[in-house]
Each structure stands twice: as structure tokens, then as C-alpha cells.
Structure 1
Amino acid sequence: MSNRCKVRAKKKLAFGLIAIVFIITLKVNAKQKQSNLQFFSYSTIVDSPPPIKRPKKVDSILKANTSIKDTLAVNDTTRKDSVVKTIDTLNVKLSKDSLDAPVTYSAEDSGVLIIPTKEFILYGKANAKYTDVEVSASTINLNQEKQLLTAFGSTDTTGNPLNKPKLVQGDMTSVSDTIWYNTRSQKGLTKGTNLQQGEMYVYAQTVKKINNNTIYAWRGRFTTCNLDTPHFAFRTRKMKMITNKIAVSGPASPEFEGVPVPIGIPFGIYPLNRGRHSGLLPPQFASNEQYGLGLEGLGFYKVLSDNFDATVRGNIYSYGGWNANLSSRYIKRYKYTGNLNIAIQNTKILNSGGYSKEEFTKSKSFMINWSHSRDTKASPGSSFSANVNAGSTKFNRYVSNNSLQNFQNSLSSSIAYSRDWSGKYNLTVSANHSQNNNLRLVNLTLPTASFNVLTIYPFQKRESVGTPKWYEKLGVGYTGNFQNQVSFYDSAFSLRRMIDTAQYGATHSVPITLSLPQMGPIQLSPSISYQENWYGQKVVQHWDSARNKVDTSISRGIYTARQMQMSLSASTRVFGTYQFSKTSKVQAIRHEIRPTLSLNYRPDMQKQYYYDLQVDSAKHFQRVSQFAGGIISPFGEGRSGSIGFGIDNTLEMKVLNRKREKDDKDTNDEDSAAGTKKIRLLDGFGFNGSYNLIPSLNDSFPLSNISIYARSTLFEKINITANANLDPYQVDEFGFRRARLMLADNKLHPGRITNASIAVSTSFQSKSKDGKTDKERIPNDDFMTPDEQQRQLEYVRSNPAEYTDFNIPWSLQLSYSLSYTKQLGSNYRQESRVYSNLSVNGDFSLTPRWKIGGNTYYDFTTSKIQTLSMFISREMHCWQMSINLTPVGLYRSFNITINPKSGILRDLKINRSRFFYQ
């Protein structure tokens, strides 16, 4: 065989590839002309239209604009056919019984698909989700052709229900014996259903759902108790519910613990709305011995806008008394917030005690409460606020079942506007009001204007370099205040009398201060102040020997008086520590002393305004000022070159902290790291006074009264505050001071105590069951004004039974105060008075569901219990019972209330109240 005939496999493969490339090359056009053979996937082939003859105008436009010509010109001769490309689409016709959303399902046992009947069955703890509907049951059957979902439960070996069908859609939850649900129309039918809609629980033999929002129930029972066997319920034959709107029932009868009560209602309307909405406020029936039969709380709530609402309530009684209340709240975020409350009383009380000749006590009164605050972001540099509490002085007397408000004898109001200019100047204009309900005296101060200039340093350089000079710290300020006040008794109000009592005045003060460098441990601070007062009246008094009394004459006008004072004060701090042995529980006692000494000089610029006044037939005289009794207090008389002195002390003790926490080991505090802790024995105690080195002829008492004070917190629980005023001079048999020190006769008796007081308070409470603190338990409303918060707190205190915290088993608050005063009485005689009282407030749980508590106020001066309030609360799961009792005091009352806890049934209550006014 010749070798040239032999062909290897590699050569055969190479020849084959060359032949294939050659054949493909023959099929390719040199000009790459598009072949008529086209392949498309889900595309549409459209024949190209015939050439379009362009108008001449169009051709001229295309020639002028080369960019458009390049874009739109088409070579019709080279491209006779064209393909219009479209988006790939799959035109598949869906079956009529297909679902419009996927179904998520699961089953513990198995799932069976029956193709001929188009059914899908899930067995054993099945669960299916379709859109916002979730169904769980023992068996779920989905018929795709009918789009019907059927769910069934099962029973265990003892015959008890197991895995009952449960349907959840939105905030509606139902548990039934059987469920039929159409996924297309969202209609359904259930048997033996327990349905929850918001706070309402409904059980019905048959429930029909006709659309996404409307449900009908047959032979139902509805309640707000979430137990299987509810404590109470209302039974009805038919009922309709509209989701998040309203529930309506036909004739219904209540039952308790399954026992029917022979009381029926013709129909029931139960609002299910969430959020604010207008509506009628139902009343409650009341029976009172002194007011008669009545309806209380009848009113209407109106939502006026997103930022404004109003509530109108009223009470009406059979004896003819009534009252009305309008309360409104407005709020706009970052702008302002406030509330307004207007109350009118027309009181008519039966006098059953026989203390009055009249059969009824009648009174007309009113009260206005307004609080407003503007956000600082609304108008930077200015602010406006209002806190108004004004009304008739008798209003609080006739407020029933509120002992705190009954004994509130003083009211005050304030409306203020302030403006600040770059932190240098500020202006405040305000109107103030105060009234004493016992004296029935009302004081109005309007307007009050105050203008302040912050301290200016005239010698300070704009650009400070190095250590500033001492004179650069010289500062000058200004404070001006104008006041205008009128007073009247509301029992004898008249415009003329109010004008006669008008008083006005102004004060001006220019302080000059200088901060000197510290001289070792001593800090020196000199100051000079100039003050000027403007008075609107001058009062002249004289003794009338014929009638043995002091007569007074008032002159109107503008009168001025001025005063100047210079002072130099020095202060320092002295420390002392006593160390104990290292094994002692008390490691050390630390004492800090802060003495102050000042030199004050005041020239006599008031001599012309003071005179001697005889005050009694024994020819006792007193120095009084012509400007005494005005709205602006007069300056002191006489030249004074006094030395002021004072000492303030603190006392601390360091002890071993054997129960320190583990976290204290990582702290940077040296005491905690060393296993010790500080205990303050005295937060502060000391005294201060002054001595006049250059007294005037009329001033024979150079040593001032000595003020003594002390404050401490023992065991971090007991707060103690005490103060006293010591007069170092003697008095005669009439109580008038003599120019002789008490130490002159008795060296152990430094002086007489003219007034003193001591207050001790403490509180104890057990640990809460849930472990939360008071701050965590009480919700904080940032949009509630302080006045509104205070008003709600007072309501909680006056109705403690309605706001009982069962998480705290017991609590106790104690407060004791003792005060002593000695002063000249109306007959210019010394009178001593002692006041002492004890206040106790607490509660404790008799059982986990019973709580009893109360508060009392005992006056040791009169040896009587001024007021005593008690309450009893019962936690009844879905109901609550509260009893408030005030058996002692001027205002006695009794109130018992039983009502559901649910918000939609809060007006369904049993209430019985009595009020006795002595």
C-alpha cells in the first residue's frame, strides 16, 4: 500500500472544518444584504408600507436641518421590507375559576389534589393564607371551580373539640365549628362562631358575612369579657356589625354568669369607631338627698377639626338645680396647645339639718379654667402663656364628691407675654389674678410690665487678649417693674368701689457689680445698687383720742422715694474630716463650713417719709411710713452701716457599703470602688443676721433678728425642714420691744422665737408585682399642658377608687407640720398662735382583687379630723367596683360605681351617690 494514500484522523478533521467554512462563505453576500429568511420568537411580522411621497415643504425642511434629515431619512430602495419589533407577550386566556392571588398553605398530615373535581384538601392542623384572609383548621377544602373554602374541626379521643376552624381577616377574629367562605365574593357562613371585633366578643349560632365589612349574626350573645364563660353578656336574636363603625342589635336582655336578668332593652347601638368622632354622651341616673333625682353627664362631643374639639355636659336635678360645663381642647404641633373649661352652677340644695330657716340653699356661680402655651419654635424670641383659674368664691363649695376641690380656698391666674432681644434685653407683660374664697376677696393685677437689661460690661474689650483687667469685670444692669392692682369683694362688687381700691406703682433698680480676683481662699465681691420707687398714693395715719382708734387718710398722686446701698462681701469654704479605723463601719465624717461676711452701707434717704404713730390709749408709738400698705413696699428707715454675717454647714458620713452591686466595681467613683458610700446627715444648717454699726436716733435696735434653718434627708426616705426667727431683744408687758438684749439678763437665753416651723414627710411602698417603676407605668403625654396634667392628677386623687394600681400591694405617705408665730394683732397686742397637723394617705390590698385605702387630715390645734376620705376597689376581671366615702368633715359624700372596663361600654354603669353639705 502506498504511503500517499494514508490519511490520519487529525487531517480528516482539519479537511472537514475547511469544507464547512467554505460552504458557509459561499452563502454570505459581500454587501451583507439582509436575507429574507427571518426567525422571531413571539414577534409580529408586518409588511413595509409603500413609499410615501413627501411634500416639497417637508423636503425643504429636511434639507435645511441636517440633524433631522439624518434621523428620518430612509433608503426605500435598499429596504423594501421592515419588521416592527414589539414587546414579547404571552396571550394566554385564564380560566374563569382561577384565583387572583397566590394561596400559601401548609398541613401537618397531608394534602390531596383531586383533579377531576378541582379540589385541594389539607389534613391535620391545616393553614391557608389568601390575600388578607388566614384560615386554620383540622381540615381545609378548597374547591377551585366554585372558589369555595370549607374548614372543619375535629375531636380528640374523649370527644372534646380539637383544632376548631379559625378565621382572621384584618382586626376581626372568629373561631367556629364550621366555616364556608367564598374567595371571590368574600361572602361566608359559619356555625357556632365566637367572633371578636375590637373590644367586643360575640357568640352566635349562625354568622353570615355578606361582604368585606358587614356581618349578620343569629341568636347571639355579645360581651366585652374575653372568658369562654363570660361574667356578663347581652343576648339577642339578631345583630348586625359593620367593621370599625357600629354594631346594632334588636331587643336584648342581660345575663350574669349565665343567669338571665328580667330586664330588657328594645335595641342596642354599640360604636366600634376608632379615633375621634362626634357623638352623644349618654347620662347616668343619680339619686341624692340634697339635690333630688337627676341625670348627670348628659352631653355631646363634637370634633370641630383635626386640631379642635369641644365637649358639652350638663346635670339636671328634680329640686331645680342644674349645672353646665363646656370643655374644649386645641392643639397644633409646633405652634400651640391649650384647653378651655367653662362651668356654670345653679345650685339648689335641700336644708335637711334644720340649721337654716329656708327650705333650700340657692346659689349661682361660675368657674373658668384656661391654659395655653405656645411652642418656642413658633416664634423664636417671644413666648405667650396663660394659666387662668377664676370664678365665683362659692363655686368649690358645691362641687359634689370632690373633697380636694371643696377645701381649695385660693385661686390664682396668670397671662404673660415675653419678648427677648438677642439675650440683652427682655420685656414681660402679664396680667395676674388671685382670690381668697374664705374672705371672698379678689385681687386683679393688670397690667404688670417688667423690663430687664442684662449686665453690661462697658470697659470690656471686644477682643480679649491675655488676662483681663480687674475693671473690665465691672458690670451694670437695670430692672424696671410697673404694677397696677384693683381689689374688690365679690359679694359687694361695684365699679366705683373697684376704682377706689386701684393702686399702682413702679420700681427701678440699677445694680453695679464687680468680680475681683480670688485672694487665696477668700472671694471678694463688691456691689453698688440704686433703687427708686414710684407710689400712686400716700397714707397718713393719726390717733383719734375721742374715739380711741387710728384714723387713716389717703392722698392720690405720684410720689417718689429712692435708696442707695453699697456692700462688700467675702466668702470662703472650710473643710474638716474625722477619720475612723479601717475596721469601723463608719469610715469618716466630713464637715464643710461656708462662712460669709459682708459690709453694707445705706444712707438715710427715707427720714422725711417716716413719723411716730400712737397706736393705743397707753401712748405706745410705732414708726410707720407714708407709703405703707401700698402695692410697692416702702424702703427701710435710717442710716445703716451694718455687718452681715452667716454660716452654712453640711455634714456627711462615709460608711461601708456591704451590699454594693456588682456594677459598682466598674465605676470610676472612688467611694464605690472602695466599697463605701456617702450618707448626708445634714443637707444644710446655719444662721444669718446683721448688726448696724451706725444706727440712727430712731433706730435703737442695731442687731437684726437671727434666722436659723436646717434641712436633712434621713435614710433617703424622711425629709425634714425646719426654720426659726430669733428676736434678740426683750419686750415689755404689752409685747412691745425694748432696747435691751436678752443676753444682758440671761446669758443662756439668746432671744425670743417669734416664728418657727418644722415639716416632716416620708413615703413607703412595696415593690410592684410587674417590676415597673412609677415613671414607666404612668404614660407621658407631650401634648398635655402642665395645668391639664395637674387637673387630671387632682381628679385621680379625689377619685382614688377608679384609678387603683393592684400591682403595688401597699403604699403609705405621711406628712407632719408644726408652726408657731407671735405677732402684733389687730389691737396692737402680741398674739401667739400654734398650728399643728398630720396628713396620712395610703392603701393596701386585702386580697389580690380587693384594695382599701384613704387619706385623712388631723388638726392638733382643734383636736379634730378635718377631713377623712376612704375608698374600696374590687377588681372583677371585665368589671370594676369603686366605693368612695367621706364620712367626716364639712363636705360629706358617698359614692358607689360599678361599670365595665371596656371603653365602648364605659357609660353602662350603676351609680349611687350622696352629698351632704353642712
Structure 2
Amino acid sequence: MMNGRKNNLKDGSALILSVWLLLLTSNIWANYFSIAHFDNSLTQIKQDTTKPVRPLDTIPKRVDSVPRISDTIPSKDTVINKIDTVNVPASEDSLDAPVAYKASDSMVLNVPNKTITLFSKANIKYKDMDLSADSIDMDNNKQIVTATYRKDTAGNLIGKPVMIQSGSKMNSDVIKYNFKSQKGITENTMTIQGEMLVIGEKVKKINEKDYYAYRSQFTTCNLDTPHFAFRSNKMKMVSQKLAVSGPIHPEFEGVPVPIYLPFGFFPLSQGRHSGILPPQFSQSEQFGLGLEGLGYYKVLNDYFDVTLRTNLYSYGGYNIYLTPTYRVRYRYNGSMNLAYQSSRILSSSGKQEFTNSKTYSLNWSHSVDSRARPGQSFSANVNIASTKFNQLVPNNPQTNFTNTLSSSIAYSKTWGSKYNLTATANHSQNNNTRDINISLPNLGFTIQTFYPLQSKEFTGTPKWYEKLGIGLNSTLANQMNFKEEDFSIRTMLDTLQWGAQHSVPIQLSLPQLGAFQISPGISFQNKWYSKRMDRSWNDSTLKIDTTTSKGFYQTSDVSFSLGVNTAMYGMFDKFGKKSPIAAIRHVIRPNVSFSYKPDLGAKYYKNVQVDTAFGKNPITGRYEGHTQRFSYFDGSIYGPPSEGVFGGIGFGIDNNIEAKIRSKKDTANGGLKKVRLIDGFGFTSSYNFVADSFKLAPFSLYIRSTLFEKVNITAGATLDPYQVDKYGYRINRYTWQSDTSGAGNGKSLGRITNGNIAVSTSFQSSNVKDKKLQEKREQQLKDQQGILTAEEQQAQLAYARANPAEFADFNVPWSLSLSYSMSFSRTVKPDYSGWQTQTFQNLSWNGDFNLTPKWKFGMNGYYDIKASTIQQFSMYISREMHCWQLSINVTPVGLYRTFNFTISPKSGILRDLRLNRTRYFYQ
């Protein structure tokens, strides 16, 4: 039996691991190149910045084979090691942060000289500094790194040094940088500061953000040889803030321009900053020489800023535009635009030298984030102006022909999902007739449909009577109408009228009976009026006299209905296997409703003579003529009550037609593609069984379609089934019956009394040069529009329409948009002497195409077919110049005939350094 020392697997493994760690770490001391006594640290036993070597053995001694409790507790050696690694004193020349370095090829360590050289795709990271180059040399004694490039056999540069720090990026031929002082110097450097590129022969970095450049170029062109630049011998830059230079002069294509400025100041900071807004020159025969756009932008705080712009003209006219904006993230945002025009236009009539006019405009938009106050919302879109304001806005044809303005302010609050309160204020005006309509305040209270017979807790299918629903809709409105020239507080009060309307709908959803859905309903309506208007024929003047009385009046109405609707499907697929059409599907949706409405409004109507068509009655001596039914509440806010008893049916049919086309390119879904031929077409009408005359109501016809997924068509018409007399008034005789009135009515299915049709389409070249660029631009536009209010989007769209050349897309070779609209209607003449047909037709277009890859021509216009005149026409030519853009806008037809020539940098920071020539003539 042997009583010697017992060795186990645990002790042997610990010994092998310790020896392996010592051998592995003995070759990596070169990483600590900032040691004060690097050559003696391996032989002297003293504390230094290197990792200490433990003199003690880490193998625990075992006295016997009995397991000790202390085996699981760290030994004395381990505790000592922990204290050593924490309390190692730092060298005076050591860095305050670690340095990470790497290279893809090799790394050479020179121990005596304390240098490290990295080859091929070298990279060093220290704090926020990131340096990359083909080769980097690190000198530990001087704490300086030097980065350079190399050339291949073809002479191409490989691995030019790039340094990124504090948001600045520098590309250079040579970069020298001191880790400790964070100073450096570079040769042939290009750095990007916001939108600007600075190219310097030598650039000195004195701290994290400040640079000095010698023989520098300042430009926004990102080419190696920029198209233009500003040259200066000395320049100082503060990263992402500003750049200041000594005397500078511009150059184009490397050719200096003999225009020197004593100094240069270039703001480089991002975000909002106060400053002067430079003007542009214009010339007009009516306004004279002008400075347009001169102003100042002031940032008051993080939530509020103000823009002030002015237009000054040599004939004495001026315009002032004040635009404050405000925003609080996640709460609300808005803007206001106050404009005042004092126009002094050279007169062409000869009666006076100048025509003076003073106009104003007020625009306010406000929106509240839905997350600010759940259950409440507030929005405002106010657009008020003098009726002649739009006509006096120069160089904007779209605004000149905008004849209607409207405003709205709305507040709503919801309690749960049952009750809703709204308060609104509205305004509208017509610049042609100078009529102004103001409606405020308007209140609305709604109770959503609730089911009083429904059990609070039920299981299974509900009973039919439990689907009985009742709701409430109540509205109150105030309205004022007047002419602009009659505006006064007294006029507003004289024309003020108010009204209210209450509606109680009662509905019942019955179970579906096979293919039919039955929906009964009851509706009760009550209206309040503040005025009553009475018309009467005056035998002396042979005209209608109108008298108005104020007070409180009310009417009531009730109706009962029962609706039945269904759908029928039909398909034809017998086209053959080789036919491009696989099948045609037709869907018919007929609907029939039975309703009854008692005549509760007859007492609010009366017959009034409107003309003297029948001549003088020899017996009575009075002139006789046609009569019309007028209500005492015509012209009220909610309109008069309906007249007459109705007991009959309403009917209609809606159709749509689709086709399945065999596609050779698209193999999905068995190679079949669904195509809509007609989205919908049909008619609606009604028949009143209890009426004594005119039982059949006019037919409302409609059709809508998208042909070839390109041409949008919408059309509608009203077909009257009754004949008219020679004066145009309806008589109780169908058009398919023989004519007995002598008015020349031929037999037909009816008379078209009004109709409309609109056709629009747009085409674009399929060979887009760069689809990825096109998708990127579209996404950027969507992202930008996502953070804009609706008013800002409309303002941006209006500017783009007024200056199309600045937004030319050379990526699309050509595009074309066309639209045509026509409408007509039969209306009674203002003097009630008969009927007249009014027709409106217009054609508009917008298109562009590339003359060459760098030249684009476009035009847009509006043609009034009825007047046979071009109301508005403009065209433009745009030139792509990489970092510059040239645009020529010409409007030879319109309220303003304008010519505009502009050449300017694309960069926003130099956008005001433009050459502009503008002339316009006001008609």
C-alpha cells in the first residue's frame, strides 16, 4: 500500500490551464505601447501600467485526500490578483480611453521604436473618432497616427484616408492625428458640412469641432471636379455650425470670375435659424420695377416662429405678408398667413393715370393631435379674402382663376360610443358675384342608434324584436348672407336667420329571407324656422312681391318605409380556349322600397302667378299666366318641408360588369386576370299611387367606369317622363303619349333635363430610366407629405403648379394628363318668364417630355369650350445641370401674362443665390 500524494483530475486540469494561459499571454504585451519603461517591464519587479505577472503558483496545495470546505472558496492568490488589476496605477502618458485597431492584411510591431503599422483596410477607433485608410502608422511615443493611401499598377488610388468625428467626415490624401491633444493636419481634404462640401489643400484640426483650411473651395457640387465653387485662401469652420472666410471669389468649371467679396459667412447648422430673406427682381408695365420676397424670418422659441415678407414696386404699390407658425409635438400645430395688398396699377383706360385698390387675405390652419385629448378634436381651416385679392396675385394663374373661398372651424366631443357633440363655424364667398355667406355657430348633437329591447346579457341568436334601433340627430345653425360692399354689423344682424332640425330614425333589421334582405324603418323630422317669406303677384307692376316676417315657426314630417333588396349573378364563359376573354360576369342588384308619407307640409305652400303668358282676361281685366308652388320657407337653412302625400314604391337597379382575361405574362391565378369593364350603371325612380298628377318621378341615370385601368368616366342624367307646354312648363302627360299641347312634343321615353359627364386620363412612359430612383422620390414625397398639414400640402402644390420648371422629373421621359367635363341643366329664368338651358364645357391638359436627356419641355392649360377661348395657358423649359437648375416659365394667356427666367443652385443653403428675370403684364 502506498501512502504518497494523491493526484486527481481537478488538480491536473488546473495546472495545464494555467501553463497554457501563461504561454498565450506572453506574446501580447505589445498591445500596451504607451508604457513609460517598455524595455524594462519584463525584467524588473515593480508596479507599472502593464499587466502584472503573478509570482505565486495558482495550484492549490492539498494536504490529504479529504475534501475541504474551503476548496469552493477562492484562494488567497485569486483575491490578490483581483486587487492587483483594480489598483494598477496609470502612466502619465497613457490615454483616457482604449484604442481599437484592425487590418485585413498584416500588422507590424516595432518594439524598440514603439510603433505599430497596419496594412490594407486599416481601421482605428478612439472615443468618437473613426479612422480608416489603406495603411496607418501609430507612434506610441508621440501618440500620433498617420494614415495614407497607395496606388495600384494602373495608378488608381486605393484606400484614401477617411476620418469621422463629431458628425464630420473628412476624405484626405494624408491624415496626421494626435490622440491626446486631438489635433491633426490633413492634405488635399474634402469634408461635408451639412449640404456644403469644403475642399482644402491643407486643413488643420485644433479640437473636436474647429478646423482651419488653407486654399479652400466651398461648393455644393459633389463631383470630384465641382462645376462651381467659392475660393478662399483662409477659412475657419465650426462643425455643423458655420464657416467664415477671408476674401472669396466664385469660379465656374475651374474658371475664376473676377468678382471678389471681402469676406464669406456660410451657416452650416441644421434646423431653424433667424435671418434675412433675400428678394428677387421683377419688372411689369403695370406695377413697375419690383423687389419681391424681401423679408425676415424670426425664431422666437422652439414652438413659435414668424416670417415677414414684402413686395415693393416703383409705382408706389406694396404687399405685406405676415406668416406666424406654431407647433407643440403630440399636441397641436398650425399656421396663419396675413396678407395686405396696396396695389397701384398703371391704367390703360386713359381716364386716370393709376388704379388704386386695397385688398386683404387671412388664412389660418390648425390641427390637434388625436392623442392629445382622446374623445375630443378641434380643427380650423380659415380662408377669407377680398373678392379681388386673387386677381391681383402676380405670376400664379391658378390663384387668379380661383373664384370661390371657404372656411371651417370644427370642435367635437364624444362620450363613450353613444353621444357626440359638434360645434362648427363656416364661411363661403363667391368672388364673381361678391356674395358672402357666414354660418356660425352651428351645433349638432347625435345619439347613436341604441336598441332598447335588447337584453343586457344574452346568448345565442337575438330575437327579431331585439334589433329595433332608435337614434337622434339634432342640429342648430345660424346664417348671414350679404354683399361684400354692404358689410357691416347692422347688415349682418338684418340678414341673420337661424334654424334647427331634429330627426328620429327608427329601424328594424329583420332576418334575411332567402336571397332577400328586408329593412323596415320609420323617420320623424321636425324643423324650426326664424323667418317666413310670402310671395304674391302684383297686378300693377306685373311682378312678384316678396315680404318677410320674423318669428318662431315649425314644421313636422313623418314617413314609413319597407325596403327589399337582393343580388343576381350571371356569367358567360363559352368563348373557347384560344379566346383572350375567358368569361364575362354581370351582377344585378335590384332594390324596391315601399313607403308612405302623409301630407303634413301642404299648408306651408301656395300657388303664385309668375307671368302674363295667357294675356288679359276680358271679364276680370287681370293678366293671367302660369302659376308655381312656392313655400313660405324657401331659402331657409334646412329648406322647406316636402309637399304632398306619397304612397308608393321606389325602385332602382344597379349593375356592374367584369371580365376575366387570359394573360400570357402573369401566370398567377391560372393565368387569369380580372378586369372591370363597367364599375356601375343603373337608374332610380319612384311611383306615387295616391298622387292626383305627376305620379311617376323623373329617372336618375348614372354610369361610371375605368376603361383599361386608365380612362375614368363618370356620367349622369335626369330623364323627365312628362311633356311640357310651349313655355316649357310640365304638363300631366307622358312623353310616349300623343302631343295635345301644340308644343311639338314628339313621342319618346322622356326628356333629358340635366346631365353631366367627366372623362379624365393620364399616361406616362413605361421606360422609366431609374425605377429605384423613381420609387425613392415617391417615398420621399410620401414621407414629406405625411408630416404636412392639408393646407401646407395645398400651398406646396400651388407653388409647384406656379413654378413647374423647378420640379421637372427627368427620370420620366414623358407624361400626359387630360380631362374633359360637360354639364347642362334646365333652370327657370330669373324673372320666371320661362325656362333656359345652361351649358358648361371645358378641357384641361398637363404634359411634359424630354427634348434631350438634359432638357425638358412642358405645358398646361384650360380651354373653355362654351366661350371658345383659352382661359389659362402656361409652358416651361427646364435644364438639368447637376448641381444647378435652369427654368423658364412663360404664361402668354391669362389674367397675367408672365415671363420668368431663373438659374439657381439646387442646394437649399444657396437657393437664394439665383439669377432671376421676371416680367408680367396685368390685363
The question of 1:602 aligning with 2:597 is answered yes
**Contact 1:416–1:429 (CA under 8 A) maintained in structure 2:** yes
Shift of residue 86, structure 1, vs aligned partner: 10
Aligned residue number for residue 257 of structure 1: 253
- Write out aligned runs for 1:836-855 (5 A): 836-855=841-860
Q: Secondary structure at the match of 2:771?
A: coil
Shift of residue 331, structure 1, vs aligned partner: 3.0
Distance 1:461 1:133 in 2: 71
Q: Secondary structure at the match of 1:546?
A: coil
- Write out aligned runs for 1:718-737 (5 A): 718-737=711-730
Q: Secondary structure at the match of 1:240?
A: strand
Distance 1:691 1:658 in 2: 51
Identity of aligned residues (%): 54
One of 367, 388, 391 as aligned partner of 2:385 = 391
One of 632, 635, 638 as aligned partner of 2:638 = 632
- Write out aligned runs for 1:567-716 (5 A): 567-583=561-577, 584-618=579-613, 619-661=625-667, 664=668, 672=669, 674-696=670-692, 700-716=693-709
- Write out aligned runs for 1:336-351 (5 A): 336-351=332-347
One of 891, 899, 909 as aligned partner of 2:896 = 891
TM-score by length of structure 1 reads: 0.84
Change (3 A) 1:249 1:561: same
Aligned residue number for residue 320 of structure 1: 316
Q: Secondary structure at the match of 1:743?
A: coil
Aligned residue number for residue 878 of structure 1: 883
Shift of residue 711, structure 1, vs aligned partner: 1.0
**Contact 1:153–1:161 (CA under 8 A) maintained in structure 2:** yes
* 1:648 counterpart letter in structure 2: D
Distance 1:148 1:41 in 2: 28
Unaligned runs of 5+ in 1: 1-9, 18-39, 43-82, 665-671
Q: Kindly report the root-mean-square deviation, in angstroms, between the aligned alpha carbons of the 2 structures.
A: 3.1
Aligned residue number for residue 454 of structure 2: 460
- Write out aligned runs for 1:37-436 (5 A): 87-88=83-84, 96-105=92-101, 118=114, 120=116, 128-135=124-131, 140-151=136-147, 166-176=162-172, 178-351=174-347, 354-355=348-349, 357-436=351-430
Q: Secondary structure at the match of 2:797?
A: helix
Distance 1:472 1:478 in 2: 19
Change (3 A) 1:380 1:177: closer
Shift of residue 748, structure 1, vs aligned partner: 5.0
Distance 1:913 1:457 in 2: 68
Change (3 A) 1:161 1:564: closer
Change (3 A) 1:233 1:289: farther
Aligned residue number for residue 28 of structure 1: none
Aligned residue number for residue 805 of structure 1: 809
Shift of residue 883, structure 1, vs aligned partner: 1.9
Change (3 A) 1:90 1:546: closer
Distance 2:89 2:248 in 1: 53
**Contact 2:391–2:895 (CA under 8 A) maintained in structure 1:** no
> Once structures 1 and 2 are overlaid, which stretch shifts more, 628-637 or 181-190?
181-190
Shift of residue 290, structure 1, vs aligned partner: 3.2
The question of 1:480 aligning with 2:474 is answered yes
Cα deviation, 1:741-768, whole Å, max 9, x if unaligned, reads 1111288501111101111111111243
Q: Secondary structure at the match of 2:454?
A: coil
* 2:443 counterpart letter in structure 1: A
Distance 1:681 1:521 in 2: 26
Shift of residue 472, structure 1, vs aligned partner: 2.7
Max radius of gyration: which structure?
1
* 2:805 counterpart letter in structure 1: A
One of 529, 534, 539 as aligned partner of 2:528 = 534
The question of 1:754 aligning with 2:748 is answered no
> Once structures 1 and 2 are overlaid, which stretch shifts more, 597-606 or 880-889?
597-606
Aligned residue number for residue 869 of structure 1: 874
- Write out aligned runs for 1:730-745 (5 A): 730-745=723-738
> Once structures 1 and 2 are overlaid, which stretch shifts more, 359-368 or 397-406?
359-368
**Contact 1:337–1:783 (CA under 8 A) maintained in structure 2:** no
**Contact 1:651–1:681 (CA under 8 A) maintained in structure 2:** yes
**Contact 1:385–1:416 (CA under 8 A) maintained in structure 2:** yes
Aligned residue number for residue 540 of structure 2: 546
Distance 2:387 2:571 in 1: 57
**Contact 1:347–1:364 (CA under 8 A) maintained in structure 2:** yes
Distance 1:163 1:85 in 2: 44
Equivalent pairs counted in the alignment come to: 831
Change (3 A) 1:655 1:186: closer
Shift of residue 892, structure 1, vs aligned partner: 2.1
Distance 2:712 2:119 in 1: 70
Change (3 A) 1:440 1:265: farther
> Once structures 1 and 2 are overlaid, which stretch shifts more, 328-337 or 679-688?
328-337
One of 509, 519, 522 as aligned partner of 1:525 = 519
Shift of residue 851, structure 1, vs aligned partner: 1.6
Distance 2:375 2:86 in 1: 68
One of 510, 513, 518 as aligned partner of 1:516 = 510
Distance 1:536 1:89 in 2: 93
- Write out aligned runs for 1:439-458 (5 A): 439-458=433-452
Shift of residue 170, structure 1, vs aligned partner: 3.8
TM-score by length of structure 2 reads: 0.84
Distance 1:895 1:245 in 2: 34
Aligned residue number for residue 50 of structure 2: none
Distance 1:121 1:525 in 2: 88
**Contact 2:661–2:673 (CA under 8 A) maintained in structure 1:** yes
Distance 2:360 2:114 in 1: 76
Cα deviation, 1:201-238, whole Å, max 9, x if unaligned, reads 22333333332222222332221112232111112232
Shift of residue 477, structure 1, vs aligned partner: 2.0
Distance 1:134 1:426 in 2: 59
One of 823, 828, 841 as aligned partner of 2:827 = 823
Shift of residue 92, structure 1, vs aligned partner: 6.3
The question of 1:793 aligning with 2:794 is answered no
Distance 1:93 1:460 in 2: 82
* 1:300 counterpart letter in structure 2: Y
Distance 1:591 1:162 in 2: 68
Cα deviation, 1:660-704, whole Å, max 9, x if unaligned, reads 24xx2xxxxxxx2x43232222211111111221225xxx32221
Q: Secondary structure at the match of 1:780?
A: helix
Q: Secondary structure at the match of 1:750?
A: coil
Distance 1:540 1:579 in 2: 64
**Contact 1:445–1:483 (CA under 8 A) maintained in structure 2:** yes
Distance 1:913 1:152 in 2: 52
Aligned residue number for residue 839 of structure 2: 834
Distance 2:521 2:391 in 1: 51
Shift of residue 85, structure 1, vs aligned partner: 13
Shift of residue 315, structure 1, vs aligned partner: 2.5
Distance 2:85 2:673 in 1: 81
The question of 1:766 aligning with 2:760 is answered no
Distance 1:573 1:156 in 2: 77
* 1:627 counterpart letter in structure 2: F
Change (3 A) 1:41 1:585: same
Change (3 A) 1:597 1:255: same
Shift of residue 271, structure 1, vs aligned partner: 0.5
**Contact 2:435–2:481 (CA under 8 A) maintained in structure 1:** yes
- Write out aligned runs for 1:488-507 (5 A): 488-507=482-501
Q: Secondary structure at the match of 1:904?
A: helix
